[in-house]
Amino acid sequence: MASVANSARGGLRWNIALVAMAAVMVANMFFTFMFAPTEATSGHVQRIMYIHVPMAWLAFLAFFVVFCGSIMYLWKRTAKWDDLASSAAELGIIFTTLVLITGPIWAKPTWGVWWTWDARLTSTLVLWLIYVGYLMLRAYSANRSQGARFSAVLGIVGFIDVPIVYFAVDWWRTQHQRLVLGGLSLEGDLHPDMRLALLVSVIAFTLLFGFLLRQRVSLKRVERGVREMREDAEFMAEGQR
């Protein structure tokens, strides 16, 4: 219950951070729709990039958090690492889902098809399935400890798909566009103003991710607290009988 007292004390600072995040999100809208120049070959459709690419980045980041949290859980066996990993997995699934929704919307007008089974798209779908499997594994486990352990193993092994998704466009022939951010992108592929708009979007959505992750983890902590109180109460009641 210490977390409730903490959140009251840090309330003001937290609210300021929230307002700042909202401001960055609004600024991001400006960068996406006003600042970024219209793309020469595909036109306004290309603006989907400022949603699609950050969503993919956040999916990777979320699954990296799952990976680290899972290792820490298997090592330390403390519930907070399991909370972190499982919360990040839920967020990662949301962002991967958004990648899989915004992708086809962008693909249809530019490629001419909604979907194709190339290495990038297929490995992304596999990524989604791995982490949906992660949540199912937790849900179907005999008890919470077993679910936490099994899913931690999957959270570590499943992370192998993240570099596969990222490098797929470099390793194999794909339908998908090449990398536009990171070390493997080519100079001059992305207009400087588009690059700036994309970076702003990545920062804005990363802040949102941090906010959502914090909220989810603290909700899990409260859930755990309630569950333990109930278990204690039941145990006491049994003892009095």
Partner 1 sequence: MTQGKKENSFNADVEGRGLLGGRGRLFLIAVVLLLAVAYLIYAAFPGSTSYYFTVDELEANSEEVDGKTVRVKGKLVPESFAREDGGTMATFTLHAGEEMLPASYDGVVPDLFFNEHSEIILQGSYLEGQPFHAETVSVLCPSKYQALEELEASA
Q: How far apart are CA 154 and CA 110, in angstroms?
A: 36
- Token pair 């098809």 in the structure block, residue: 113
Cα-based angle 214, 121, 61 (whole degrees, multiple of 5): 20
Cα angle: 48, vertex 113, 181; to 5 degrees: 40
Give me the least distance between CB of 198 and partner 1, in Å please.
9
When binding is defined by CB under 8 A, the residue of 21, 27, 42, 80 that contacts partner 1 is: 42
Long-range CB pairs of 107-116 (<8 Å, 24+ gap) are: 107/175, 109/42, 109/45, 110/42, 110/45, 110/46, 111/175, 113/175, 116/175
Q: Which among 8-16, 24-32, 107-115, 202-210 is the span making contact with partner 1, rule CB under 8 A? A: 107-115
122 exposed, middle or buried (CB, 10 Å; 0-12, 13-18, 19+)?
A: middle
Interactions with partner 1, residue window 159-188 (CB under 8 A) = 172-175, 177-180, 188
Both structure tokens of 107: 């693909």
| Residue among 74, 219, 218 at smallest CA distance from 66 | 74
* Binding residue for partner 1, selected from 111, 132, 211, 218, defined by CB under 8 A: 111
Closer residue to partner 1 (CB): 15 or 146? 146
Cα separation, 162 vs 135, in Å, equals: 17
- Which of 145, 184, 210, 226 binds partner 1 (CB under 8 A)? It is 145
Scanning residues 47 to 66, which ones bind partner 1 (CB under 8 A)? Answer: 49
Does residue number 41 form part of the binding site for partner 1 (CB under 8 A)? yes
Q: Between 22 and 74, name the residue whose CB sits nearer to partner 1.
A: 74
Q: Which residue lies nearer to partner 1 by CB, 29 or 234?
A: 234
- Closest approach, Cβ 93 to partner 1, in A, equals 20
The contact set with partner 1 (CB under 8 A) reads: 37-43, 46, 49, 109-113, 116, 118-119, 122, 142-146, 150, 153, 172-175, 177-180, 188-191, 193-194, 228, 231-232, 235
